[in-house]
Amino acid sequence: MTETALVLFSGGQDSATCLAWALDRFDRVETIGFDYGQRHRVELACRAAFRDRLVAEFPAWGARLGEDHTLALDALGALSETAMTRQTEIAFAADGLPNTFVPGRNLLFFTFAAALAYRRGLRHIVGGMCETDYSGYPDCRDDTIKALQVALNLGMDRRFVLHTPLMWIDKAATWRLAHDLGGDVLVDLLREDTHTCYLGERSRRHPWGYGCGTCPACDLRAKGWERFVAA
């Protein structure tokens, strides 16, 4: 039986690692990205370059890599008064969540991904959500993803399987996973051709990649890199 997958690929480190993970496991893999007016939309520009270099460096994976899809979700950006969709300072809200949290984002991402998977005949849907070493977003938690899988399967009368291979590992272990999958070559691709910084800063190069170096995403990535190289 041919196993097929759709990866939620933003252009960031975590989703790029998940793409490699999926290519290592499934027979055919497609990718999907979302343009919702994100402040760090430079990540969308990284997607094609990363896919191209992945194919060049890993021909066996390249043979499995299928189409890429990008969907516009302008309504999400219009509804969101967050530091991810507005030029505002990153801070913590009264509920303890950072104002980078975009309500409903991952719920919509998986729902639209499942609709595409339904049409394309793809069974496995892979996302880079994690609740081990993260910013506290409730739609990144394992309980949310499990509940969403049930809802999608009931609502579409399919048996999708939602995978979150990073759910229970920290950022250092995410770097190690990438190294286990593709060695130094994949790690270098992640550093050079992905983008995770919330501010969309791509003029500053750090040992772990590009970014402002101070936002929560950069902070998590930098600390994970330090633990990875020290191990």
144-171 per-position pLDDT tens digit: 999 999 999 999 999 999 999 999 999 9
User: Is 4-230 assigned to CATH 3.40.50.970?
Assistant: no
Place of tokens 């070559």: 185
Instruction: Please name the residues in contact with 54: beta carbons below 8 A apart, sequence gap of 6 or more.
Output: 19, 20, 23, 61, 62, 65, 189
Contacts of 158 (CB under 8 A, 6+ apart): 114, 117, 118, 123, 152
**The predicted structure's pLDDT at residue 9:** 98
Q: Record the pTM.
A: 0.93
Separation CA 134–CA 64 (nearest Å): 30
Which residue would you say has higher pLDDT here, 39 or 144?
144
Q: Centre a 10 Å sphere on the Cβ of residue 176 and count the other Cβ atoms it contains.
A: 17
Task: Using the predicted structure, report yes or no on whether residue 208 has a pLDDT greater than 90.
Answer: yes
Residue with tokens 């394992």: 142
Strands 209-210 and 205-206: antiparallel
pLDDT of 130 higher than 70: yes
pLDDT band at 65 (very low <50, low <70, confident <90, very high): very high
Please give the average per-residue pLDDT across 71-96, as a whole number: 70
DSSP code at position 132: S
**CA–CA separation, 186 and 227 (whole Å):** 18
3-state secondary structure of 226: helix
Whole-number pLDDT of residue 37: 77
Split at pLDDT 50, 70, 90, the class of 121 is very high
